[in-house]
Amino acid sequence: MTTVRIPADWPGTEEQARAVQDALRARVVLDEPGPPPGTGRVTGVDVAYDDERDVVAAAAVVLDAASLDVVAEATAVGRISFPYVPGLLAFRELPTVLAALDALPCPPGLVVCDGYGRAHPRRFGLASHLGVLTSLPTIGVAKNPFTFAHDTPDTPRGSTAPLLDGREEVGRALRTRDAVKPVFVSVGHRTDLDNACAHTLALTPAHRLPETTRRADALCRRALREAAGA
DNA sequence: GCGACAG
DNA sequence: ATCTTGTCGC
């Protein structure tokens, strides 16, 4: 486990944070399909907080994409770098997530984030931001809808409904289990939406949420407990 | 101006 | 995200 320091140039206000998003948005790469599902490695990242003690813990868990076996994992802890503001989640999560990724002993391959990528008010959610800072292919898989309207996908696993910003499809509500509430998938960086959904299905053989985020969630909670928990 | 709003 | 018991089901 590594300890993180908040970067000296990290935004201190919502105004500054939005300016950073507007400046970095142009660097998102959208014309690559990304790695094929079921090959190479797939990494889940997640973060847990103890607002009382101002502690944050992040985890990165690398899975073999074919077997979904854990190949490597790393954690990082630090101070909370930003309050939770819808649309600015990246500024709260990224410093610690980046440190956890840096601590991995192997390349992460595709990174699966807990949240949104392009399906964001300024087209630059957590998954896109992480992708631009690392150059890694990323996707976002969120548990709840954000600001975009969508229809209800059909009942069977694999069914989708577009997340629409006007007439533009910025993500998809994707059913990963029959008749269970869908997850919300969007492109982060260097992937396309079809592939992002295919990856999400490949990572959900048994549960609504991807194995990557389930593993990362369990690990960062444990790291938080060991770092600050009572 | 009033809600809604990833984690 | 987090506070929280038992309970129904694969």
Strand B contact at CB of residue A56, distance < 7 A: no
Task: Report whether A46 belongs to an annotated binding site.
Answer: yes
Reading chain A (230 residues) residue by residue, the pLDDT tens digits are 788 878 888 899 999 999 999 999 999 999 999 999 999 999 999 999 998 899 999 999 999 999 999 999 999 999 998 999 999 999 999 999 999 999 999 999 999 999 999 999 999 999 999 999 999 999 999 999 988 989 999 999 999 999 999 888 999 999 999 999 999 999 999 999 999 999 999 999 999 999 999 999 999 999 999 987 76
Q: How far apart are CA A114 and CA A2, in angstroms?
A: 21
- Which residues is A113 bridged to in the sheet? A140
Q: Estimate in Å the CA A34 to C1' C3 gap, whole number.
A: 40
Domains, chain A, ranges and CATH? 28-227 (3.30.2170.10)
Each residue of A172-191: b (16+ CB within 10 Å) or e?
bbbbbbeeeebbbbbbbbbb
Q: Estimate in Å the CA A49 to C1' C6 gap, whole number.
A: 26
